[in-house]
Amino acid sequence: MQPLVMEGLQRDFVLHRLDEAPARDGFLAEVGPRIRAMAVNAHAPVDADLLARLPNLEIVASFGVGYDTIDVGAARSRGIVVTNTPDVLSDEVADLALGLLLATLRQIPQADRYLRAGRWPEKSFPLTATLRNRTVGILGLGRIGRAIARRLEGFGVDIAYHGRSPQDVPYAYHASLPDLARASDVLMIVAPGGPETRGIVNAAVLEALGPQGIVVNVARGSLVDEAALIAALRSGTILGAGLDVFAGEPHVPDALTAMDHVVLLPHVGSGSVHTRAAMGQLIVDNLTAWFAGKGPLTPVPETPWSGQP
């Protein structure tokens, strides 16, 4: 947790730091029953076992919009509310998604490396692929997906999408992911992680995307069958990939770091000072509102606020 969150929480709460505890079991046995709220990073697992060791827990405030590491079913059955940080990061992640798409197509990092290596005087940088005349398929037209689509409108490209149901938007809806991939030559992945979406971007989807296809993932590594992606990049089944997230992050397969037709980022979608501060403030505001009896500000849909503290 950032200093802003720690300072905000310290003002009103007594903090117990599981992340600094020398022994997890001893810590949980000692302070577990006193814990009424938990502030967690989006990457720290909150499973049924942890929840069971916090019998007086009322609320989990998670730092991030994605909450696939939290067992919301177990939280719900114990009457525990889970909050996330939606909206405040949508524009930031959408900006990064567009940057990553352009960086991948126009090989911006590769061109930078080329210049720094002193190769320009010898020979101009090779010509690249383009965003022109492409159809961008968005997997998951939620808040961030729509923010990406709005930006893409300005780039003058065709936009299509796949999600659970069609929405009232001027973009082409495809009822299946392979159909979206077939109709697109960029697959922009922005759907939530979790068991329902695990590995859905598989070999067949990559094959449908085709040899000019670009995969951009700013969601969760778990949505992509990473072995199939590596194989598709190696064989030319698709053209390239821009990835901000990975299945086993922060560890990234050597097969990917060895490739020059991919752009790889260390999960920085929401990572500006401005947006991370807004996310941190929302954690503090959620917990403060909860203990003032006002309910959570941004509960996730699986643990809706009933109005009863």
**What track of x and - describes contact with ligand 8YV for positions 241 through 280 (by CB under 6 A)?**
--------------------------x-xx----------
For residues 63 and 290, which CB has a smaller minimum distance to ligand 8YV in the complex?
63
Q: Identify the DSSP state of 300.
A: -
CB of 74 to ligand 8YV, least distance (A): 20
If one asks whether residue 41 binds ligand 8YV (CB under 6 A), the answer comes out as yes
Number of residues that bind ligand 8YV (CB under 6 A): 11
**What track of x and - describes contact with ligand 8YV for positions 67 through 106 (by CB under 6 A)?**
----------------------x-----------------
CB of 287 to ligand 8YV, least distance (A): 17
Helix runs in 15-68, H state only: 24-31, 48-52
If one asks whether residue 213 binds ligand 8YV (CB under 6 A), the answer comes out as no
Stretch that binds ligand 8YV, among 38-46, 119-127, 167-175, 225-233 (CB under 6 A): 38-46
Exposure string for 240-257, b = 16+ CB within 10 A, e = fewer: bbbbbbbbeeeebeeebe
If one asks whether residue 42 binds ligand 8YV (CB under 6 A), the answer comes out as yes
Helix runs in the chain, H state only: 3-12, 24-31, 48-52, 72-77, 90-105, 108-116, 143-154, 177-183, 203-209, 226-235, 254-257, 273-291
Q: Looking at the annotation, which residues are catalytic?
A: 220, 249, 267
For residues 42 and 263, which CB has a smaller minimum distance to ligand 8YV in the complex?
42
Rounded CA gap, 138 and 181, in Å? 9
CB of 192 to ligand 8YV, least distance (A): 9
Tell me which of 8, 32, 66, 299 binds ligand 8YV, using CB under 6 A: 66
Q: Which two three-digit tokens encode residue 72?
A: 């919301």
Q: Are 198 and 221 in contact (CB under 8 A)?
A: no
Task: Compute CA 97 distance to the chain's CA centroid, rounded to the nearest angstrom.
Answer: 11
For residues 158 and 249, which CB has a smaller minimum distance to ligand 8YV in the complex?
249
Stretch that binds ligand 8YV, among 41-49, 105-113, 135-143, 301-309 (CB under 6 A): 41-49
For the chain, first and last CA: distance in Å?
A: 26
Q: Are 57 and 31 in contact (CB under 8 A)?
A: no
If one asks whether residue 221 binds ligand 8YV (CB under 6 A), the answer comes out as no
Rounded CA gap, 179 and 87, in Å? 29
Give the footprint of ligand 8YV on this chain (CB under 6 A).
Answer: 41-43, 63-66, 89, 267, 269-270
